[in-house]
């Protein structure tokens, strides 16, 4: 188990998690490609994607997505007080997590038919019945996610990122295998096999693997429901439970409001969002997760200057990678969607429509990048209240935009509303950080971001023109033509962006160079 218990530094950890997220997104694309091929934008696909709303909400309600974040600084403190005390706190956290998520999951399982009516107001009666059936298969996976997050937090505390990097790969792999088995062995069961894959993937990837990894590096589980720090943990987690951020609810809004856009609306938005999350995961999520344990340790030891310097570096690198990457993808969004999804039951027209949605969503990638890192900087200071309040305010400001957006603009309105919510949330976090901690950690970020945006926009506009020009002499709807247009557009963007950066500021390319160098080092280990 030495490979799974090996510790990593912040740079290598960011690269490892970035590669993990990239591969996970790639597997997610394979999964969605299979779904789009066999089910297109039909009702069965809409039902399957909507079936994740209630399970995900339960996870958010118990701060499941941030559970490891609230645990890491407390694990640092309790283990510094003594190993016995650390294991007692860890064990109490696991026990409470299991009890809470099991109770909520059981209640949701019993009332699945009623939940189906609330989650998909635009679905027919038969579709809601099918949705309730899918819910009852997927819901028990939550019992694996939350306790598993406790063991993942322990691995983060130990700075062991290998198993957390493998977890999403195993999860997505199980979904794909389950779906393929069902499609070939039981073709009349529709997407039921994908739902069972979710359950088995959660059990293996999110619970069993982290438990075994922690056990390999020494595990002392002491069943208990009490520890003095449990109150502190509840106070940290409570704002995350009550304050539902637009970031964690964006996917749910896409499904709920997408159901009001007519048949296929949920699927079209989901396919576009899946591609948008590739740069978000590779750049923003990886940077945020990898930097967090180090920031938490610096905050706990009172190293303010080192904390500000590290946060500044993380924000700088994230923004300077996210901006050009998103602009490059915007330039070839339409052929990208056609190349990936235009086959089987998903038509060229549907793929092109989803390409427009992708271009809109990609505008928000940089906002995703900033909030992922900056939000964790608050958590490192054990401040979960500020992000929760800002996130709740942004959500309240976004909900009316979602409603009017889908009413007047259909699926495009839903995508635009997501950008608006992200803008509110990121701007709010940025302002709150400056007021509380000053501008040391943010020094130089706006200027560098402005230079990268200028170079990216100019390169992106010319790359888009090259993409359109290539379309005039390539087969309009062929996959080969889409691949050629993407290649021409991407090559044009890279050449122009690097040239403009050398003219404006060579430092703009430094984060990209560092990422590539880090990836080579990680792969050669």
In the block, residue with structure tokens 């790969």: 169
Residue 166's φ and ψ, nearest 5 degrees, are: -85, -25
Who's near 138: CB < 8 A, 6+ residues apart? 51, 52, 55, 195, 198, 199
In the block, residue with structure tokens 């107001």: 121
C-alpha distances out from residue 272 to 1, 31, 68, 87, 261, Å: 38, 14, 29, 43, 15
> Considering the entire predicted model, what is its pTM?
0.74
In the block, residue with structure tokens 């080192």: 306
CB 214 within 8 A of CB 151: yes
CB 229 within 8 A of CB 168: no
In the block, residue with structure tokens 């720090």: 229
Domain layout of the chain by residue ranges: 1-242, 243-442
d(CA 95, CA 148): 11
Q: What is the pLDDT of residue 384?
A: 77
Q: Name the nearest CA neighbour of 434 among 450, 446, 421.
A: 446
The SS3 of residue 302 is: coil
User: Which pair of tokens denotes residue 143?
Assistant: 């019992």
| Other Cβ atoms closer than 10 A to 90 | 28
Within 13 Å, how many C-alpha atoms sit on residue 210's CB side? Answer: 29
Burial pattern 348-379, b for ≥16 Cβ within 10 A else e, equals bebbbbbbbbbbbbbbbbbbbbbbbbbbbbbb
User: Which pair of tokens denotes residue 161?
Assistant: 């990122």
Q: What sign results for the dihedral spanned by CA atoms 370, 375, 378, 379?
A: negative
Q: What is the pLDDT of residue 523?
A: 47
The SS3 of residue 186 is: coil
Who's near 430: CB < 8 A, 6+ residues apart? 370, 374, 442
The SS3 of residue 343 is: coil
d(CA 334, CA 348): 10
In the block, residue with structure tokens 């560092």: 514
Q: Name the nearest CA neighbour of 370 among 323, 328, 414.
A: 323
**Cα separation of the two ends of the chain:** 16
d(CA 119, CA 490): 39
pLDDT per position in the chain (525 positions), as tens? 455 555 555 556 666 666 777 787 788 888 888 998 888 888 898 999 889 888 877 776 665 555 666 777 788 888 887 888 888 988 998 898 899 889 999 999 999 999 888 888 878 889 999 999 999 999 999 899 888 988 988 888 877 777 888 888 999 999 999 999 999 998 889 899 999 999 999 999 989 999 998 888 778 888 878 888 887 777 777 666 665 555 667 777 888 888 888 778 888 998 899 889 888 877 766 666 667 777 877 887 888 888 999 899 889 888 888 999 999 999 999 999 988 888 888 888 888 899 999 999 999 999 988 888 898 899 888 887 888 888 888 888 999 999 999 989 999 999 999 999 999 999 999 999 999 998 888 988 888 899 999 999 999 999 999 998 887 777 666 778 889 999 999 999 999 998 888 887 877 777 766 656 655 554 455
User: Which pair of tokens denotes residue 266?
Assistant: 């949920």
User: Which pair of tokens denotes residue 41?
Assistant: 């934008």
d(CA 19, CA 21): 5
Burial pattern 424-447, b for ≥16 Cβ within 10 A else e, equals bbbebbbebbeeebeeebbeebee
Q: Name the nearest CA neighbour of 381 among 442, 297, 461.
A: 297
Q: What is the pLDDT of residue 487?
A: 93
Rg, C-alpha atoms of the chain: 23
Task: Count how many residues are written for the chain.
Answer: 525
CB 356 within 8 A of CB 275: no
d(CA 390, CA 398): 12
SS (H, E, C) 237-281: HHHHHHCCCHHHHHHHHHHHHHHHHCCCHHHHHHHHHHHHHHHHH
């Amino acid at each position: 188990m030495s490979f799974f218990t090996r510790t990593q530094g912040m740079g290598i950890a960011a690269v490892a998690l970035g590669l993990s997220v990239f591969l996970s997104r790639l597997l997610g694309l394979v999964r969605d490609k299979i779904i789009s091929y066999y089910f297109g934008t039909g009702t069965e696909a809409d039902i399957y994607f909507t079936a994740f709303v209630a399970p995900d909400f339960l996870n958010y309600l118990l701060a499941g997505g941030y559970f490891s974040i609230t645990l890491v600084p407390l694990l640092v403190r309790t283990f510094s007080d003594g190993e016995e005390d650390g294991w007692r706190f860890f064990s109490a956290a696991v026990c409470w997590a299991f009890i809470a998520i099991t109770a909520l999951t059981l209640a949701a399982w019993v009332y699945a038919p009623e939940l189906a009516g609330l989650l998909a107001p635009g679905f027919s009666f038969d579709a809601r019945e099918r949705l309730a059936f899918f819910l009852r298969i997927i819901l028990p996976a939550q019992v694996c996610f939350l306790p598993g997050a406790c063991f993942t937090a322990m691995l983060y505390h130990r700075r062991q990122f290998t198993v957390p990097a493998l977890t999403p790969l195993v999860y997505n792999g199980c979904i794909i295998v389950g779906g393929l088995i069902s499609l070939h062995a039981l073709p009349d069961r529709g997407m039921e096999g994908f739902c069972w894959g979710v359950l088995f993937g959660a059990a293996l990837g999110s619970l069993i693997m982290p438990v075994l990894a922690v056990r390999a590096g020494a595990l002392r589980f002491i069943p208990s429901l009490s520890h003095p720090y449990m109150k502190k943990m509840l106070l940290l987690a409570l704002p995350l439970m009550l304050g539902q951020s637009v970031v964690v609810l964006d996917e749910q809004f896409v499904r709920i409001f997408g159901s009001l856009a007519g048949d296929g609306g949920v699927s079209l938005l989901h396919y576009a969002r899946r591609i948008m999350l590739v740069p978000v995961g590779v750049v923003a999520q990886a940077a945020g997760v990898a930097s967090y344990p180090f920031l938490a340790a610096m905050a706990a030891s009172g190293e303010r200057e080192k904390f500000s310097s590290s946060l500044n570096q993380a924000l700088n690198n994230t923004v300077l990678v996210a901006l050009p990457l998103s602009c490059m993808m915007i330039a070839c969004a339409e052929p990208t969607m056609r190349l990936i999804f235009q086959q089987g039951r998903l038509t060229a027209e549907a793929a092109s429509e989803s390409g427009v949605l992708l271009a809109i969503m990609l505008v928000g990638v940089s906002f995703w990048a900033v909030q992922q890192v900056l939000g964790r900087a608050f958590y490192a200071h054990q401040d979960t209240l500020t992000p929760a309040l800002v996130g709740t305010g942004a959500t309240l400001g976004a909900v009316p935009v979602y409603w009017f957006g889908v009413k007047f603009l259909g699926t495009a309105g839903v995508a635009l509303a997501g950008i608006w919510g992200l803008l509110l949330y990121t701007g709010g976090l940025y302002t709150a950080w400056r007021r509380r901690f000053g501008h040391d950690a943010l020094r130089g970020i706006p200027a560098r971001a402005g230079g990268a945006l200028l170079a990216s926009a100019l390169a992106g506009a010319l790359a888009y023109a090259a993409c359109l020009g290539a379309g005039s002499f390539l087969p309009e709807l062929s996959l080969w033509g889409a691949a050629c247009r993407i290649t021409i557009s991407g090559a044009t963007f890279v050449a122009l962006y690097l040239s403009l950066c050398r003219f404006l500021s060579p430092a703009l390319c430094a984060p990209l160079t560092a990422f590539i160098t880090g990836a080579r080092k990680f792969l050669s280990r």
